[in-house]
Amino acid sequence: MRIAIVNDMLMAIEALRRSIAKRADWKLAWTARDGAEAVNKCAADTPDIILMDLIMPVMNGAEATRRIMRDSPCAILVVTATVEGNMQLVFEAMGHGALDVIKTPVLGADGKLAGAAELEGKINIIGKLIGRGKQQTPALVAMGNAMADNNHLPPLIVIGSSTGGPAALLEIFRALPAGFPAAIVVIQHVDISFSADLADWLGRQSPLPVNVAEPGCQPEKGIIWIAGTNDHLIMTAERKLAYCAEPKGVFYRPSVDVFFHSVAANWAARGLGMVLTGMGRDGAEGLLSLRKTGWRTIAQDKETSVVFGMPKAAAECGAAQEIMPIDLIAQELISYVVRTE
């Protein structure tokens, strides 16, 4: 894979160069010292992946991501040391199409790289997403049988999202009323280091509280839970949320498919499942399993998706009953809950 570096700090560039040099199948495409230079270089020579910093002179990484995804799209991983106080820019970049975010590896005085293994893992995942590796479909994890009594279960809405997901989720949540009479659980592809920040960012702009799911918590009306680790969030037979390392071979962590399959197996009542913007196919098979158990299923449309990968896969396999633009989805959630009460 050809990988570009966009960063204004010489030490960070050197750390990223060394990280790339560890793999014979990775090549440095070019470097840029600010976002504007990156936009121009990407237009002339589009790499497979860009490692994009956030805070830079001339043009920041979020704006550079927006322009690159508009004019010469490619996979972008935000790699930055300046996370504190800049979460707005992190999720702005992800809203424009950055796939994930990770902290910059640090080059120590002894010449050793701290954080290089984590960066390599992220690049490997992105390589698979863009066709440089075999994608895997997760098997349904055995989780017991759901109890038949569903009289006391709240209406449940489950959402899977990835590239562009933070902005899409925010648009939906902003339009829901305070005290919304349904439980909501979200699987957003984001690293464990940033899941709490994502929940805080969404919660500060939403009428509903947004929390990171803790092991043993239960879906409740009027509360949004977001997966918060690099393990898979699952629904147990006791209708509680838990985390599970299996299946280990699935590179989407947390996986939308794994969660949706567990909900189909263990949530006795029906609900509404949806797949939003994102690269890859995660969520399609899980959404299909929900539809087969009688759930209402939706996928975001191409026109409003930053990347029409996950919704397209859900549509092609027959998992989505309806394809909808993002601005109509919140009203559909409200209407669905009214119909089922």
pLDDT at 138 over 90: no
pLDDT-derived band of residue 113, with 50, 70 and 90 as boundaries?
confident
pLDDT value at residue 340: 79
- pLDDT tens-digit map of 322-341: 999 999 999 999 999 988 77
Q: Are 271 and 158 a contacting pair, CB within 8 Å? A: yes
- pLDDT tens-digit map of 271-314: 999 999 999 999 999 999 999 999 999 999 999 999 999 999 99
Please name each of the domains of the chain with its CATH number. Answer: 2-129 (3.40.50.2300), 156-340 (3.40.50.180)
Q: In what order do the strands lie in the sheet with 296-300?
A: 210-212, 224-226, 183-188, 156-161, 271-275, 296-300, 322-324
pLDDT at 132 over 70: no
- Interior angle at CA 169, CA 166 and CA 172, nearest 5: 150
Active site residue 282: yes
- Active-site residue (options: 48, 231, 282, 301): 282
Compute the distance between CA of residue 297 and CA of residue 187 in angstroms, rounded to an integer.
15
- Active-site residue (options: 19, 48, 161, 189): 189
- pLDDT tens-digit map of 206-225: 999 999 999 999 999 999 99
- Active-site residue (options: 162, 195, 255, 289): 162
Neighbours of 322 (CB within 10 A): 14
Active site residue 189: yes
Active site residue 162: yes
- Interior angle at CA 126, CA 184 and CA 74, nearest 5: 100
pLDDT-derived band of residue 151, with 50, 70 and 90 as boundaries?
low
Which ranges in 51-113 belong to alpha helices (H)?
A: 61-71, 87-96
pLDDT at 77 over 50: yes
Rounded percentage of the chain residues whose pLDDT exceeds 90: 76
